[in-house]
Amino acid sequence: MILPAQSEWYKDAIIYQLHVRTFSDSNSDGVGDFRGLQQKLDYLEELGATAVWLLPFYPSPLRDDGYDIADYCAVHKSYGTLEDFKAFLTAAHERGLRVIIEMVLNHTSDQHPWFQESRSSRDNPKRNWYVWNDTDELYRDARIIFIDTELSNWAWDPVSKAYYWHRFFSHQPDLNFDNPEVREAIWQVMRFWLELGVDGFRLDAVPYLVERDGTSCENLPETHDIIREYRRRLDESFPGRMLLAEANQWPADVCAYFGHGDEFHMAFHFPLMPRMFMAVRLEDRKPIIEILQRTPEIPQNCQWSIFLRNHDELTLEMVTDVERDYMYDEYARDKSTRINLGIRRRLAPLIDNDRRRIELLNGMLMSLPGTPVIYYGDEIGMGDNIYLGDRNGVRTPMQWDGHWNAGFSEADPERLYAPIVSNPVYGYQAVNVDSQKRSEHSLLSWMKRLVQVRKSSQVFSRGTISFLDPPNHRVLAYVREYGNDRVLAVNNLSSTSQAVELNLRKYKGFIPIEMSGKTIFPRVGELPYLLTMGPYQFYWFRLRRI
């Protein structure tokens, strides 16, 4: 079943990001699978998600949690079969849930048959599918991304006695996108999944597709040409499907990936994310306003995707050195929580399990411009396990209930792909879906209401934003407008109570109606509009001319 091509559905989406292996294990082998995930679709629907983004589920040696793909057109056997995937997709579509999958096109695993052939000899027909060189001297201006593990972007291949290029781990050789055969092969992969009915792709690591000597090898015009070509083919054969860019770059460089509305439909706003955390810590709205004011307008058919946390470290690539030091000092005192240029923690532990800050940050996530992404488990305030290596600490099994293995799997605990978080604060007996469903006041119940309110008006998903400039800098206030709909959002970024005077002269005579309780507030008059706010409190008011 293919969902009808509803125009620009991605703008109004609530995306839930998850890894099949972390979610639910149906066959008791300790690893989540598609059948398990299918059984949990009710949960996603109840939460209010309208799309699910799946992390890579393809055959892989799993040295980078599946971002090292060994076969693009199959399912890793621990997660089930292609038939299981199809059944899951149909079940999701029956509920109107869209499915976004990963297209890791910059590189493959070194176990991929393409690379095995390419390395087998210098005159193999697939030699040119990867980027080979006799020395490691070329492209010296390209930075290293995984600075904690890699010393060079070149690795020596003892088989064919040459160097191959890799922007990530050395077991992830980069494909050669100058080769038309590679470009075609990747399109055929996309076609395969599109024909099955997937609604969109997150294109992994797009800035790095093409290399040119003397450049940073990022965001090159040739890379944009490739994307434009994929988009053209997508629109031609699969209208209504969506491309989402993972381009961890400054706003102007990311904006280039929207092209003239002819490249990506969506792109993550990487620079905004750390600034939301920074603003809450500094108790000052400046970082958020500055970065959004530096963000150029995007074409009408495009949309930002915004997030608080994801499966990677909280990346600090898109901040200044001073800002990075500040973030490390405030959010990662324990040095073992730092990795590459970032912090490998989940939302709740980052902010010391402070429910008020969890709510405030989610309030901003749901009211700033863009499509929000919720990282699985953050809706119940799950913790992490910093003793697991790499970024695995934020990828532990979903905590469903207080029983055996948190309801994730019936396997012996030793067999689980990763241990369940079990400490007294974040452990599954304290933090789980079942217990939170029983309480109206739990984080989960609160998140459901927040998502409902967000979905009650397209002003959040499609409206413009204008910032107010109240003298009290601890308060971030903005008005979103779409057609005749207007919402005023006011966020107290501070740990103490605040009073704020808002200049709402433009809305004189309007009545603010607080959206979660539908409470009518005093009419806006001539004078500055006075609000008092508790620590980390936020309000959403619909502005009605009554």
Name the site residues for ligand GLC (rule: CB under 6 A). 64, 67, 104, 168, 204-205, 246, 311-312
Extract the tokens encoding 355.
Answer: 């429910």
Using CB atoms within 10 A of its CB, is residue 544 exposed (0-12), middle (13-18) or buried (19+)? middle
Q: How many helices and strands in the chain, by DSSP H and E? A: 16, 22
What is the number of other CB atoms lying within 10 angstroms of the CB of residue 301? Answer: 14
DSSP secondary structure of 437-466: HT-TTSHHHHHHHHHHHHHT-THHHH-EEE
CA–CA gap between residue 360 and residue 270 (Å, rounded): 19
Extract the tokens encoding 61.
Answer: 């040696």
What element of type H or E holds 314?
Answer: strand 314-315
What Rg value do the Cα atoms of the chain yield, rounded?
Answer: 24
What's the min distance (Å) between Cβ of 397 and ligand GLC? 18
What's the min distance (Å) between Cβ of 168 and ligand GLC? 4
Q: 64 vs 110, which CB is nearer to ligand GLC?
A: 64
Q: Would you name the residues annotated as active-site residues?
A: 204, 246
What is the number of other CB atoms lying within 10 angstroms of the CB of residue 15? Answer: 24
Angle, helices 272-282 vs 355-367, to 10°: value is 140
Q: What share of the chain is helix, strand, coil (3-state, %, to 5)?
A: 35, 20, 50
What's the min distance (Å) between Cβ of 205 and ligand GLC? 5
Q: 263 vs 312, which CB is nearer to ligand GLC?
A: 312
What's the min distance (Å) between Cβ of 161 and ligand GLC? 26
User: Are 165 and 135 contacting, i.e. CB atoms less than 8 angstroms apart?
Assistant: no
What's the min distance (Å) between Cβ of 86 and ligand GLC? 25
Angle, helices 321-331 vs 272-282, to 10°: value is 60
Using CB atoms within 10 A of its CB, is residue 94 exposed (0-12), middle (13-18) or buried (19+)? exposed
Closest residue to ligand GLC in the complex (CB): 67
φ, ψ dihedrals at 92, nearest 5°: -65, -45
What is the number of other CB atoms lying within 10 angstroms of the CB of residue 239? Answer: 9
DSSP secondary structure letter of residue 419? P
What's the min distance (Å) between Cβ of 373 and ligand GLC? 12
Instruction: Spell out the residues 6+ positions from residue 376 whose beta carbon is closer than 8 angstroms to its own.
Output: 16, 17, 18, 19, 22, 23, 398
What's the min distance (Å) between Cβ of 200 and ligand GLC? 16
CA distances from 481 to 157, 491, 542 (A): 56, 17, 10
Q: 64 vs 157, which CB is nearer to ligand GLC?
A: 64
Tell me if residue 349 falls in helix, strand or coil.
Answer: helix
